[in-house]
Amino acid sequence: MDQRAMRNIFGQFASGVTVITCANADGEAHGATVTAFTAISLEPRLCQVTLTRKSKACGYLDDAPFAVNILASDQLDTAMHFAGKPQSPGPEWSSQWLVPALSGNAATLICSPWASYDGGDHIIYIGEIVDAVVDSSAEPLLFYRSTFHELGDRSGSAAYCGSLDDPHSRWFDASARFTPSCVPVPVAASA
């Protein structure tokens, strides 16, 4: 399967848009637009970002703190700026942390380096979240089929609260036993 076909397949999965920011070797702020972001663990608080090996940011993230800037729907210019299409005016930077981070995000996660792994043509970076801020009124910027999108109308009236087999919700625990509601009747073998 060629790379374009794989990109199209991966593009079927809608994702949020982040800008990963850090300091370069000269201490200057640097960023890269990334859609490969995943929450990993609540305890410890871990998240994952995956960057192509060709990215300048890959050279800056080795054992360095970084910020995950989860973009709001009105930050399309910011996404484009860090995707290699510089915008004027440029993005607004926050001075709230020692790590370079952007202003106006839907959420910002400040991360200490935890681990990095070979991811083929990408490198997988795991960060421990040491600080975070969220703007609960902001809608996220989304990426789907190689195009940026905003959230549409809600599809249901109730929020999804997780799996019914979630150990944290105590719906089912290790001692739960299940009894079938019907017992299958054996089918007589034909002669």
In a domain, 144, yes or no: yes
Of 6, 2, 1, the closest CA to residue 146 belongs to: 6
- Note the pLDDT of residue 183: 54
Residue-number span of the structural domain to which 19 is assigned: 13-150
pLDDT of residue 142: 86
Instruction: Supply the pTM of this predicted model.
Output: 0.77
Q: Is residue 27 part of a domain?
A: yes
What digits encode the pLDDT tens for the residues 124-140?
A: 999 999 999 999 999 99
81 in a domain, yes or no? yes
Asked, for residue 156, whether it belongs to a domain, the answer is no
Element (H, E) at 3: helix 3-10
Burial label, 52 (beta-carbon count in 10 A; 0-12, 13-18, 19+): middle
| Count of structural domains within the chain | 1
The CATH number given to whatever domain includes residue 49 is 2.30.110.10
pLDDT given for residue 123 in this prediction: 94
Q: What is the DSSP string of 137-177?
A: TPPBEEEETTEEEE--S-S-SS-----TT-TTTTSS-TT--
Convert the pLDDT of each residue in 34-90 to its tens digit.
988 999 999 999 999 999 998 888 789 989 999 999 999 999 999 999 998 999 999
Percent of the chain past pLDDT 70, that is, above it, reads 75
